[in-house]
Amino acid sequence: MSLFSNMSAEEISYLLDEHGIKHGPVVDSTRNLYERKLKEAMAKRKQAKPSPDKTFYREEEEEVTYVYRTPTKSENFMERPYMRSKTAEELEHSASYSGYSRSSEYRGRDYDELSHKLPVGPKTAPIRSGQDAPKAPKSPRLIPLWVQFLCFLAVAVFLYFVFSSMESSEPLKVIE
């Protein structure tokens, strides 16, 4: 490889170390072997990483295209799945607080404000919750949020009912 033939033995040795190739001294009889190994290693690297920028953009691309295509639509679309996945847990917590009907308004507003900002802090998340459900009938979720809420409440009520019925019944004493 003409690329390597101008290099000194030390340079080749350095490159071999860079690629993590175990090697001995670079002497006349070993030089060809090491040059070939370097060539293969470099070709492999190029194949593995077509260009670092591409990977970088690919990660960003999802966000960037949404923002640039249609400002209003894309923001919601982009942020909602992101936010919803986050707030799903918080929603279940906030269900007990039952303040969720109010908070979704903030959420809608915040979308516009934070349209350009992607990383939304977890602090703001609890404020916002499921009021989006009545606002936006179309959601990317398979099961709409309010249905999930309803189920949760139903299960909670059911369990309470079972518990209360157990309390009042006689058999409990028998068990004891």
Partner 1 sequence: MSSTSQKHKDFVAEPMGEKPVMALAGIGEVLGKRLEEKGFDKAYVVLGQFLVLKKDEELFRDWLKDTCGANAKQQGDCYGCLKEWCDAFL
Q: Which of 14, 25, 39, 59 binds partner 1 (CB under 8 A)?
A: 25
Asked if 32 touches partner 1 (CB under 8 A), the answer is yes
The reply to whether 98 sits near partner 1 by the rule CB under 8 A is no
Piece of 20-28, 48-56, 103-111, 151-159 that binds partner 1 (CB under 8 A): 20-28
Q: Is 17 in the site for partner 1 (CB under 8 A)?
A: no
Q: Which is nearer to partner 1, 32 or 96 (CB)?
A: 32
**Angle at CA of residue 72, ends 69 and 78, nearest 5°:** 70
Cβ neighbours for 71, distance < 8 A, ≥ 6 positions apart: 115
For the record, the structure tokens of 115 come out as 């349209």
Residue 74: exposed, middle, or buried by beta-carbon count in 10 A (0-12, 13-18, 19+)? middle
Tell which one of 6, 22, 116, 119 touches partner 1 (CB under 8 A).
Answer: 22
Asked if 1 interacts with partner 1 (CB under 8 A), we say no
User: Considering the rule CB under 8 A, would residue 39 count as an interface residue with partner 1?
Assistant: no
**CA proximity to 15, closest of 50, 32, 47, 39:** 39
Report the alpha-carbon distance of residue 19 to residue 16 in Å, rounded: 5
Binding site for partner 1 (CB under 8 A): 22-25, 27, 29-30, 32-33, 36-37
